[in-house]
Structure 1
C-alpha cells in the first residue's frame, strides 16, 4: 500500500503543479484529483492509505476552523436581507440540484451531496462518511467550483486590472504549531463524545476556538497544500474501474448545475440589491458557492467589505455541516 500511495501522491503532485500553472482555484486539490482520476481511468492502480487520508481530513477541519470568526457571524444580524436570500438560495440549490443530478442516474443521496451549494471539501468528507459515491460528487463540485470562481474573477476583471490570491506563510511558527498539537486532542474528544465525523469536526472546533481567543495564527501554505494534495489524490483514486462515458455523462449535468447556480445567484442578488442599499456585486459574491478565500480576495480587490462576503460563506458552511443528518434522512426516504 505504501508504494501505491507514494505513486498516487507523485501523480497528484504533478497535477497540482500543472493546475497551479493554469491558475485553477484549489489547484492542489483539483489538479491532483483530475490527474489521478485520468490515470485511474486509464487502468493505473492508484490509492491512498486511509490513515493518511484521515490526517488530511483533520488538517482540513483545522484550516476551515481557523477561518471561523464569531465577530463576523454576529455582523450578519445587520445584513439579514442577504442572509435570508442566502437561505432561500441554499434551498433552491439543493432542490434544483437534486432534480438535475437524479437525471444523471446517480442515487438520491449522491444527488443531494452533488447539489450541496458550496464547500467541496466538506461535501466530500460528509458524503464519504455517509457511504456516498464520492466520484460523482467530486466531478459535480469541481465543475461548480471552477465555473463559479472563474465567473467571479471575470466579473472582477471588469472593475480592476489584476485579480490575485494572497499567499499564506510558508514557515511554521510556535503559534502555528499550537493548533496542530491541539487538533489530535479535539479529534479524540470528539470521538469519545460520539460526535459525527470526529476527525473533521474536532480539529475544526480546535481551530475556531484558538482563532476566537484572539490568537492570530495561520497554517503555513505547505501544510494546507499537502492536505489538499492528499484529499484530491484520494478522491481521484476512487475512479479505478470507472468508464470515461460515465464521467462525461455526470459531467454534463455538473456543468448544467454550475450554470444554474450562477444564474439563480445573479437573480437573487439583483432582488436584494433592488430593495436594499447593498450593492449587486457584493451580494453576488456573498451568495455564489465558490471558495471562501477566493471570494474574499475578489471582494477586496473590488473594494467590497470582505467581512460581509466571508461571513455569509462561513454561515453557509456551518449550516451545511449541521444539516447533513437531515439531508441524509431525506435522501434515504426518497430512495425508499
Structure 2
C-alpha cells in the first residue's frame, strides 16, 4: 500500500512539474559555436586560463565558469606555431624580446595556455581579435549580432535596455520580433541575474546620456508575468519561455509584492527595480524594458562548421583550411 501511494505521488508530482514547464539541461543546452579560425579574442581579463587535453574539456570548463566565449588551440603539427608572430620568421627585435621577457605568463596567455575562458563575446566589429594561427575562437552567440547598442553582463549574457516606455505586451513583442537579434524580455529568476541587471541599471543611470534621451531607468519590465488563463496558481508567474517561477528557488519581491493577478484584472507583470527587487504592476502601464539576446541555436555538432564561420571585418582567410592533426 505504501509503495502504491508513493507511485501515485511521484506520478502526480511529475505531471505537476511537467505543466510548470520547468527547464532541464537537455531542453536548454548551451553550445559554443566556432566563429573565427586562426584568431583569438583578447584575454586581458579571463575567467580562466588552463591547459586542457581537448576542446570538450575547455568547453566543460567554460560552462563551469559561466563563460560566454572561449579561445582554444587544438595543437597538431599545423597549429604549433603562430604564423603571424614575428618570432616565427626571426624578425623580433631586441626591444620586443626585452618587453616580452618582462611579461608574466598571464600577460601572454597565448604562449602558455591553450584554453582561455572569456567573460564576454567579441562585439560586432571584432576589434579585440588577435591573429594567431594556433587558436580558434568560439562563442555561445555564434556570429555576432549587427546590433550596436547592446551590453554584455559578464557571466550572464547580452542585453539591450529600451528607455522609450511601453506597455508589457508591446515590450515583449519588441524583444521577440527584433530584426537585429533573436531575444525576449530578460530572464531574472536567479540572484546573480537579478543583482547583475540591477547593478547594470545603476551604471546605466550614471552614464552621461545623449541629449534628448531619457535620463534614468529605475523600473524596467523583465520577462515575468502572471496570467489567469495560463497560470496554475496565484504565484505561478511565467517567464518569456513560459517556464514557471515555481521551477526556480530565487525570489526578490519588493515589500507588498507580488500583487496577484486577481487584484489587477486578469494579469500582473513584473518590473525590476534598480535596487534589485521585483514589483508587480498593471501590464498596461508604460515602462522602459530590458531585452535579452538569446544564444545561438544548438547544431548537430559544435565542431567545425564552415556555414557558421564569421567572415566579417578582419576575418582571417589565408588560414582557412589549416586543419587540425
Alignment TM-score, normalising by the size of structure 2: 0.20
- Determine which structure has the larger helix proportion and give its number: 1
TM-score normalised by length of structure 1: 0.19
Which has the larger share of strand?
2
Q: In terms of Rg, which structure is larger?
A: 2
